[in-house]
Amino acid sequence: QVEFVESGGGLVQPGGSLRLSCVASENILGTYHMGWYRQIPGQERELIAQITTFGLTRYAEDVKGRFIISRDKSKNIVYLQMNSLQTEDTAVYYCFPTDWNKGEPLPSFGTWGRGTQVTVSS
């Protein structure tokens, strides 16, 4: 079963930047579209950025223009560059294979990683 390990989170002031990384245990980035999700306590996990196997990207409205998703297929890593961070971006961030058309995680992969905590606060 493919495992995902997210890292790069931390405490940052409003207006600051972070770059998140997600390493997949198997070489799947050439086969599956990927997404970054985030979850605020008490709320459902939401999809905020997607990237296809050939590099097409799409973003949720509230991160568009601030976040950039990218990937390095040779290293099995998906990145999320987050700029102009706001307190509302505070959440745990995850990556997972995603159905581009439905904007939903692919259930066949089953297990999510532990995520990485991002806290935006002054």
Report pLDDT digits (tens) over 75-98. Answer: 999 999 999 999 999 999 999 999
Among residues 94, 107, 101, the alpha carbon closest in space to that of 48 is found at 94
117: its two tokens: 């905590």
- Does residue 65 carry a pLDDT above 80? yes
Report pLDDT digits (tens) over 12-48. Answer: 999 999 999 999 999 999 899 999 999 998 999 999 9
Q: Collapsing DSSP states into helix, strand and coil, what is residue 36?
A: strand
Output the pLDDT for position 1.
87
Tell me the C-alpha to C-alpha distance, in Å, between residue 56 and each of 34, 72, 105: 11, 14, 17
Report pLDDT digits (tens) over 97-118. Answer: 999 999 999 988 878 999 999 9
Output the pLDDT for position 13.
98
